[in-house]
Structure 1
């Protein structure tokens, strides 16, 4: 029989707290392990499954999305690729928002006013933002005058 890991051994090998492993098991991210005298015993492959959860979390997936990934892997059709496409679109939007925010902040640092609240461009940007413009649109509005 393959070497079985206790929850403590799995935690040690993966760097994930035992409480998180129990929670992930409860959520269905990890399959329920076998029990020996009431104690969890994981197959060595559980290390890889924990790695999948950690990697997906690190690239921006929520635990709910990780669960969808885990359950969609073996489904026919688009399955996990659809989840990846959706996450890629979401990340592209977040990157665009972060780039717009960075541009706005860099321009703010270049403002010659001691008090940025006295800057007419800043005030125009705030007004545009409050009128429903995105950060990028508000920045463009402020600098079009």
Structure 2
């Protein structure tokens, strides 16, 4: 007989040693993802539709792992539609996911190189004791780039 209310659901889980089902508030609290975002992820297919009990969403613990993967993908720069494609790719060997991951790794590598250059410039600037970059004579700063295009006013200044 299927559980009818929260008490019966809890007793049913205790008898079968199933992990407790989580409310949307509990998932939000434990994952750090807002309840509105959880509903949106469900709407666009990033999260599977949870069971409903008394009109309330009830999630199993696996949703927390999935949310962690989504967060890591977002940190890596994947857009939500790209994350959807990663989860949806069930072809043998997942070639579409692998191609998407390779492209993202190339973007991350380019960002890391750019950040390393920015860090070096900041570190050089911190060693400089000149009154200003324009008046710098210590040679620490990289040379200023030449103006690009016919408009000299558009040249970047350091």
Structure 2 segments unaligned to the other structure (5+ residues) = 1-12, 150-158
SS in 2 for 1:30: coil
Q: Distance in 1 between matches of 2:60 and 2:76?
A: 26
1:124: Cα distance to partner?
4.5
Paired positions, count: 129
Tell me whether 1:68 sits opposite 2:85 in the alignment.
yes
Aligned to 2:96: 79
Q: Any conservation in 1 of the 2:121–2:142 contact (CA below 8 Å)?
A: no
Cα distance, 1:53–1:65 mapped onto 2, change above 3 Å: same
How far residue 104 of structure 1 moved from its aligned partner, in angstroms, is 1.9
Runs of 5+ unmatched residues, structure 1: 133-145
- Cα RMSD (Å) of the superposition? 2.8
Is 2:49 aligned against 1:32? yes
Bigger Rg over Cα: 2
Q: 1:54 aligns with which of 45, 53, 71?
A: 71
Q: Secondary structure at the match of 1:32?
A: coil
The offset of 1:123, in angstroms, is: 9.1
TM (norm. structure 2) is 0.65
* Contact 2:22/2:58 (<8 A) preserved: yes
- Quick one: distance in 1 between partners of 2:53 and 2:71? 27
1:94 to 99, 111, 127: 111
Structure with the largest fraction of helix: 1
- Aligned counterpart, 2:35: 18
Distance 1:93 1:45, change over 3 A: same
1:95, CA displacement in angstroms? Answer: 0.5
Question: Cα distance 1:15–1:112, how it changes in 2: closer, same or farther (>3 A)?
Answer: closer
CA distance in 2, matches of 1:54, 1:10: 14
2:113 is aligned with 1:110: no
